[in-house]
């Protein structure tokens, strides 16, 4: 057992804050030097005199930063700045400037001090500005010491600061320029990588615990660069190229392309024509069109998916390794008592009692797992401010959690567990003296017979969502630090683990004097983390509010019952830890003194922190871009370090800018509107980058490695795309026995194989295609392509989803073609049709029996042709043939195996050519274009099913690639499919379309040459299985022209193409 030398009382947060900031503030004074008086009197703004009275001596007359940070680059909003000033400034007397004073000063800073000019002016003086001193000492003293050292570095890099263990220790305060310059000089000399290291660390690279202090385009950064070059003299490298040039020469996707990609991602469909029209107006109308996509079930699924990719709460649903909600949990009497009752009933012989309860339990677990995701979706869909993810005073319930939580929400269908509505948790009790729990029989479980009433759960959005408290639990020794880390990471864009290196010094590791409170090697992180851990004081390891026995707190007995425990009655938190509170970005620490609703107070502090808005950008970024934001590179000697730092910097700038707009309201919209944020991301270069106009060097290739088009669709996105284009998802069924009845193979069965996550062991998506993933896509296409073609061709041509240009008789040879029902029996009847020809020359008349099968019996229908006549456009007769003479003029009757199709018959006194399968083909020379009249005298045998034999009559070209009408139609169809399936707008004469058409023709001809039956399932090598709930008749599968089989293979081609799987 470790020994702790514990402190006798709580450590007030304010004391720690004072220690951290006392040195920073020690130089502040209210006496204004002459130059400040001059600067003050030059402005009429009411905030000016107040600023100069309270702020300028530390923050500089121009807000440029002196011993305190710069203000002329603040990212705070007016409200945020006012609040900050009112509550905390000036440090020497925080009551000195509140309310109107604070708001005037804030307005003065934002309106008169905030930098508006582009700071990227390099080192040159433009238009008569300041001239930089040329000697090193003066340069450092005038430009580096105030703007960089005192304003930035020395705040942490001093002998008492949080960077005290580094090799760069500066002096904070006045008149330290000479000393600090020497420190820099020595540091520069002792490390060959110092030049690059300093410049990268201030930009957030190199695992800088202080994160980003300067941006590459900042004037202060340029000055620092100059200073280091003066130190390094001839050995120093040249100026860095900032990331501002990252998108030079890059072309973006146009409005139509952008809308298509956006629609497939957020709406799981293609845009409608009206949406395309709207998008192509201007940028604002494109924005409107994109935002218009954000509704409906598929958008809801997008929000759920994107949220879960971050929160991973789905790990708690189903039969995974993580379990949530214990049936014997007496804190939730509805749960434990129903469990008890079901056990009683089971023992009494009710065979369905336990399964009914398990159904409820599973429904509750499902609800728990989904609730945080549903909350996010609810807020976004209803365009509520995103801050509500932390401040929501409700949760989302389904019919089952509605029961356990006593939420009293009404649902139309108690069995539809996928419907969620806002509700409150009124289902938990405290296990105190008012509660009686009977534990009489282990096999029955406990039951609650009396209790003191259900608590008013102090909802604080996701902070105390029950599932998340369980997904990210605590332990007796962890003391909510894991929860603190998670929430900092998700909602403040701050990774505590990476903020400073953990000590591995043996002495530090062996320190048992409460090192997280006393040892600087530990406090560097724990001063930030532990107050937030304390804000979770009311929640035990399983997420119960004041879950300890007695109902007074959530502290573990390993602390409260310890010999020499510090615990005292009434305590909620550990006395040997920092008190609950929050350290905002400006390092202003504030205690949270409220006890019952600590997390609700924390939520307010967090949303006021500018990092909250940034975290929202970070949260949603991967869902749009399919890659997380780049992390700051750590190892300066890596060959791709500079390239990665550039992209990190550029992305960070985007995040900060987007976050500012998001918090204020994007383009005049409501603040914290996620839909508007998503639109801006989609409009950005990051999403729309399409091509480059010149070759890239290695660094730029690395920097641009993960932006723009070419993102692999996730399994869910691909499933929706397939559904949108074909009308069905792979293996889709509605299974009401499942919690989520809608099931498809890609989204459910093969999701992990296609790069998806399981929210537990696999938590990052694959973004590049592997052979296994390729095979999943292939499996989908192989199984779906033929049935999709069959189903579409059974629809009327105007109702088809895909094949709108062609029918099953349109071959590469077809000049014109008609289909007629031979609905006359026993009596030869004239069927006259017009066929229009636009190319003269050698042709074939072709007559096909299209539906030989009937009642499932192959070849049971018959057509009898006893005469045919062909008249030219000038009405002259070109052909007149009697049935028995049909072949003597060079014609042929062919079945699929090359044998003769049918033969001469004499029935009812009529001599005719009768055939039950195959076709008749008669060569003919057509010397003029125009309308030909083809009359066939025929009769058939309509079977008991009432369906007459169908005869198609066509005039075909002799060979393909002769610009036949069929070729034009097929190419037009392929062009459509290139556009809808692959997002490619091709010209009819393009090489790519030509290549696809050649594939079509060769595929068709291969089948033609292969002596294959006129059926899509002509052998055991072919299967065309109808989807669930659909039956294909033999007629559906009949393929007299081998066109259905050909289109099936083309469907396979399109569904596995690179551009189908990527957008």
Partner 1 sequence: MKRRQFLSMLGYASATMALPFTNVSHANGFTPYTGQLLVTIQANGGWDVSSFCDPKLNTDSTVLNNWAIGMNKEDLPKAGNIPYAPFANNSTFFERHNQSMLVINGIDMQTNAHGTGRTHTWSGRTARGYPSLTALFANEKAPLLPVSYLNFGGYAETAGVIRFSRIDKVSELRRILEPNVNGSAEKTRNYFPKTDLDNIIAAQQARLARLKSSDSILPRQKLAMDSYYQARPNVDGLEHFASVIPNDGEIESSKSLSQAQMAILGFKAGVTCAADIELGGFDTHTNHDALQEPALTSVTDVIEYLWEYAETQGVADRLTVVVGSDFARTPYYNNSEGKNHWPIGSYLVMKKNASWANRVIGATDDNQNALALNPQTLKADGGTGSVVLHPMHIHSALRRELGLSSNGFAFSNTQEFDFFNPDLG
Rg (CA), the chain: 38
Query: SS3 for 645?
Result: helix
Comparing CB distances to partner 1, the nearer of 648 and 937 is 648
Residues with Cβ within 8 Å of residue 286, at least 6 apart in sequence: 255, 258, 259, 279, 280, 683
Helix runs in 293-445, H state only = 296-311, 333-347, 353-381, 388-391, 399-404
Residues with Cβ within 8 Å of residue 705, at least 6 apart in sequence: 647
Comparing CB distances to partner 1, the nearer of 426 and 1062 is 1062
Rounded to a whole number of angstroms, the minimum distance from the CB of residue 373 to partner 1 is: 22
Comparing CB distances to partner 1, the nearer of 109 and 252 is 252
Comparing CB distances to partner 1, the nearer of 251 and 408 is 251
Rounded to a whole number of angstroms, the minimum distance from the CB of residue 454 to partner 1 is: 30
Contact between 786 and 1048 under an 8 Å Cβ cutoff? The reply is yes
Rounded Cα–Cα distance for residues 1049 and 1059 (Å): 17
Torsion, Cα 204 210 216 217, to 10 degrees, reads 140
Comparing CB distances to partner 1, the nearer of 318 and 385 is 318
Rounded to a whole number of angstroms, the minimum distance from the CB of residue 321 to partner 1 is: 8
Rounded Cα–Cα distance for residues 833 and 727 (Å): 35
Which token pair is 22?
């006392």
CA-based nearest residue to 57, from 42, 85, 73, 37: 37
Which token pair is 886?
């049909």
Rounded Cα–Cα distance for residues 755 and 771 (Å): 11
Phi first, then psi, for residue 192 (nearest 5°) are -65, -20
Rounded Cα–Cα distance for residues 908 and 911 (Å): 8
Comparing CB distances to partner 1, the nearer of 107 and 571 is 571
**Is 507 exposed, middle or buried (CB count within 10 Å of its CB: 0-12, 13-18, 19+)?**
exposed
Rounded to a whole number of angstroms, the minimum distance from the CB of residue 954 to partner 1 is: 15
Rounded Cα–Cα distance for residues 868 and 829 (Å): 11
Comparing CB distances to partner 1, the nearer of 610 and 731 is 731
Rounded to a whole number of angstroms, the minimum distance from the CB of residue 457 to partner 1 is: 27
Rounded Cα–Cα distance for residues 795 and 224 (Å): 71
Rounded Cα–Cα distance for residues 612 and 401 (Å): 30
Comparing CB distances to partner 1, the nearer of 137 and 762 is 762
Comparing CB distances to partner 1, the nearer of 217 and 571 is 571
Which token pair is 746?
């890609």
Which token pair is 685?
């270069």
Comparing CB distances to partner 1, the nearer of 326 and 1022 is 1022
Comparing CB distances to partner 1, the nearer of 99 and 959 is 959
Rounded to a whole number of angstroms, the minimum distance from the CB of residue 54 to partner 1 is: 41
Comparing CB distances to partner 1, the nearer of 431 and 921 is 921
Contact between 112 and 64 under an 8 Å Cβ cutoff? The reply is no
Which token pair is 110?
């934002």
Rounded Cα–Cα distance for residues 816 and 821 (Å): 17
Comparing CB distances to partner 1, the nearer of 701 and 907 is 701
Rounded to a whole number of angstroms, the minimum distance from the CB of residue 1047 to partner 1 is: 13
Q: Determine the angle formed by the axes of helices 610-625 and 641-664, rounding to 10 degrees.
A: 120
Rounded to a whole number of angstroms, the minimum distance from the CB of residue 1043 to partner 1 is: 15
Comparing CB distances to partner 1, the nearer of 742 and 1062 is 1062
Rounded to a whole number of angstroms, the minimum distance from the CB of residue 778 to partner 1 is: 5
Comparing CB distances to partner 1, the nearer of 328 and 690 is 690
Rounded to a whole number of angstroms, the minimum distance from the CB of residue 936 to partner 1 is: 22
Phi first, then psi, for residue 678 (nearest 5°) are -60, -40
Comparing CB distances to partner 1, the nearer of 416 and 1011 is 1011
Rounded to a whole number of angstroms, the minimum distance from the CB of residue 998 to partner 1 is: 6
Rounded to a whole number of angstroms, the minimum distance from the CB of residue 931 to partner 1 is: 26
- Which DSSP string corresponds to 686-719? HHHEEEESSPPPHHHHHHTTT-SS-PBPPHHHHH
Rounded to a whole number of angstroms, the minimum distance from the CB of residue 520 to partner 1 is: 16
Query: SS3 for 821?
Result: strand
Rounded to a whole number of angstroms, the minimum distance from the CB of residue 203 to partner 1 is: 16
Torsion, Cα 297 299 304 306, to 10 degrees, reads 160
Rounded Cα–Cα distance for residues 3 and 24 (Å): 35
Query: SS3 for 395?
Result: strand
**Is 771 exposed, middle or buried (CB count within 10 Å of its CB: 0-12, 13-18, 19+)?**
exposed
Rounded to a whole number of angstroms, the minimum distance from the CB of residue 779 to partner 1 is: 4
Rounded Cα–Cα distance for residues 215 and 228 (Å): 16
Rounded to a whole number of angstroms, the minimum distance from the CB of residue 761 to partner 1 is: 4
CA-based nearest residue to 816, from 851, 845, 850, 849: 845
Contact between 166 and 190 under an 8 Å Cβ cutoff? The reply is no
Comparing CB distances to partner 1, the nearer of 770 and 908 is 770
Cα 732–chain centre separation: 23
Comparing CB distances to partner 1, the nearer of 92 and 558 is 558
Torsion, Cα 445 450 453 455, to 10 degrees, reads -30
Rounded to a whole number of angstroms, the minimum distance from the CB of residue 702 to partner 1 is: 8
Rounded Cα–Cα distance for residues 666 and 118 (Å): 22
Query: SS3 for 461?
Result: coil
Rounded to a whole number of angstroms, the minimum distance from the CB of residue 768 to partner 1 is: 4
């Amino acid at each position: 057992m470790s020994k702790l030398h514990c402190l006798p009382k709580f450590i007030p947060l304010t004391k720690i804050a004072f220690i951290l900031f006392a040195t920073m503030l020690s130089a502040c004074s209210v006496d204004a030097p002459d130059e400040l008086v001059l600067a003050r009197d030059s402005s009429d703004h009411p905030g000016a005199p107040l600023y100069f009275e309270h702020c300028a001596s530390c923050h500089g007359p121009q807000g440029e930063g002196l011993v305190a940070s710069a203000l002329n680059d603040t990212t705070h909003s007016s409200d945020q700045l006012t609040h900050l000033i009112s509550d905390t400034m000036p440090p020497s007397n925080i009551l000195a400037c509140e309310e109107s004073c604070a708001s005037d000063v804030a307005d003065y800073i934002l309106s008169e001090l905030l930098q508006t000019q582009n700071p990227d002016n390099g080192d040159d003086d433009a238009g008569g500005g300041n001239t930089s001193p040329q000697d090193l000492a003066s340069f450092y003293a005038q430009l580096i010491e105030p703007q960089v050292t005192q304003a930035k570095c020395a705040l942490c890099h001093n002998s008492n600061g949080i960077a005290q263990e580094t090799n760069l220790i500066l002096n904070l305060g006045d008149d330290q320029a000479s000393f600090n310059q020497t420190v820099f000089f020595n540091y520069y000399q002792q490390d060959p990588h110092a030049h690059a290291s300093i410049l990268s660390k201030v930009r957030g690279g190199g695992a800088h615990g202080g994160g980003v202090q300067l941006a590459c385009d900042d004037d202060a950064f340029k000055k620092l660069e100059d200073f280091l070059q003066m130190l390094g003299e001839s050995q120093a490298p040249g100026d860095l190229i900032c990331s501002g040039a990252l998108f030079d020469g890059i072309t973006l996707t146009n409005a139509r392309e952008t809308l298509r990609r956006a629609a497939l991602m957020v709406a799981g469909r293609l845009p409608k024509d009206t949406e395309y029209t709207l998008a192509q107006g201007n940028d604002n109308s494109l924005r409107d069109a994109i935002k218009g996509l954000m509704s409906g079930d598929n958008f809801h699924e997008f929000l759920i998916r994107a949220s879960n990719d971050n929160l991973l709460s789905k790990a708690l649903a189903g039969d995974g390794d993580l379990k949530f909600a214990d049936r014997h949990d007496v804190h939730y009497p509805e749960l434990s008592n129903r469990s008890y009752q079901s056990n009683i009933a089971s023992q009494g012989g009710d065979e369905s009692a336990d399964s009914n309860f398990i159904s409820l339990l599973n429904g509750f677990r499902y609800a728990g797992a989904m609730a945080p995701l549903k909350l996010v979706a609810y807020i976004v869909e209803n365009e509520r401010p995103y801050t509500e993810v932390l401040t929501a005073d409700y949760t989302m319930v389904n019919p089952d959690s509605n029961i356990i939580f006593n939420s009293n929400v009404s649902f139309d269908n108690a069995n539809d567990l996928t419907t969620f509505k806002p509700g409150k948790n009124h289902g938990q009790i405290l296990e105190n003296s008012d509660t009686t729990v009977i534990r009489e029989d282990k096999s029955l479980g406990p039951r609650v017979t009396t209790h003191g009433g259900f608590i008013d759960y102090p909802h604080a959005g996701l902070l105390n969502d029950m599932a998340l408290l369980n997904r990210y639990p605590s332990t007796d020794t962890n003391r909510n630090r894991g929860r603190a880390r998670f929430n900092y990471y998700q909602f403040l864009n701050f990774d505590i683990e990476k903020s400073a290196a953990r000590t591995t010094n043996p002495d530090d590791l062996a320190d048992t004097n409460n090192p997280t409170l006393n040892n600087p090697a530990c406090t560097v992180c724990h001063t930030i983390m532990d107050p937030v851990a304390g804000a979770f004081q009311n929640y035990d390891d399983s997420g119960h509010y004041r879950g300890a026995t007695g109902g007074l707190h959530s502290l573990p007995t390993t602390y409260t019952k310890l010999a020499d425990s510090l615990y005292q009655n009434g305590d909620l938190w550990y006395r040997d830890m920092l008190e609950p509170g929050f350290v905002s970005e400006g390092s202003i620490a504030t205690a949270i003194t409220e006890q019952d609703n600590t997390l609700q107070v924390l939520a307010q502090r967090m949303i006021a922190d500018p990092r909250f808005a940034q975290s929202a950008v970070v949260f949603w970024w991967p869902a749009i871009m399919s890659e997380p934001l780049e992390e700051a590179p750590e190892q300066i000697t890596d060959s791709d370090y500079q390239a990665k730092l550039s992209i990190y910097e550029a992305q960070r700038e985007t995040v900060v800018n987007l976050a500012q707009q998001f918090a204020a309201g994007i383009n005049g919209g409501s603040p914290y509107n996620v839909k508007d944020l998503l639109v801006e991301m989609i409009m950005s270069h990051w999403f729309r980058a399409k091509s480059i106009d010149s070759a890239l060097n290695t660094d730029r290739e690395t920097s641009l490695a993960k932006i723009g088009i070419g993102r692999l669709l996730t399994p869910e996105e691909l499933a929706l795309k397939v559904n949108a284009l074909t009308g069905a998802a792979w293996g889709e069924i509605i299974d009401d026995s499942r919690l989520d009845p809608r099931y498809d193979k890609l989204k459910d069965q093969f999701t992990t194989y296609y790069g998806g996550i399981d929210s537990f062991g696999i938590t990052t998506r694959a973004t590049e295609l592997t052979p296994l993933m390729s095979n999943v896509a292939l499996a989908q296409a192989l199984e779906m392509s033929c049935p999709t073609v069959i189903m579409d061709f059974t629809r009327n041509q105007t109702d088809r989803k895909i094949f709108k240009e062609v029918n099953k008789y349109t071959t590469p040879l077809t000049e014109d073609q008609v289909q007629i029902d031979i609905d006359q029996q026993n009596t030869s009847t004239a069927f006259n049709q017009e066929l229009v020809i636009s190319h003269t020359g050698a042709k074939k008349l072709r007559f096909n029996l299209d539906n030989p099968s009937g009642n499932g019996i192959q070849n049971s229908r018959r057509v009898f042709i006893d005469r045919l006549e062909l008249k030219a456009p000038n009405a002259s007769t070109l052909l007149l043939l009697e049935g028995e003479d049909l072949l003597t003029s060079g014609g042929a009757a062919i079945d699929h195996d090359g044998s003769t199709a049918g033969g001469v018959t004499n029935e009812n006194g009529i001599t005719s050519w009768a055939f039950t399968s195959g076709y008749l083909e008669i060569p003919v020379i057509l010397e003029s274009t125009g309308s030909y009249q083809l009359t066939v005298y025929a009769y058939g045998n309509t079977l008991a099913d009432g369906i007459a034999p169908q005869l198609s009559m066509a005039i075909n070209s002799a060979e393909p690639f002769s610009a036949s009408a069929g070729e034009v139609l097929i190419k037009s169809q392929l062009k459509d499919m290139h556009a809808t399936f692959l997002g490619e707008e091709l010209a009819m004469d393009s090489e790519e379309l030509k290549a696809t058409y050649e594939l079509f023709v060769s595929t068709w001809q291969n089948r033609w040459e292969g002596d294959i039956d006129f059926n899509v399932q002509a052998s055991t090598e072919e299967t065309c299985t109808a989807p669930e709930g659909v039956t294909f008749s033999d007629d559906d599968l009949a393929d007299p022209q081998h066109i259905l089989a050909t289109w099936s293979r083309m469907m396979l081609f399109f569904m596995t193409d690179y551009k189908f799987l990527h957008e």
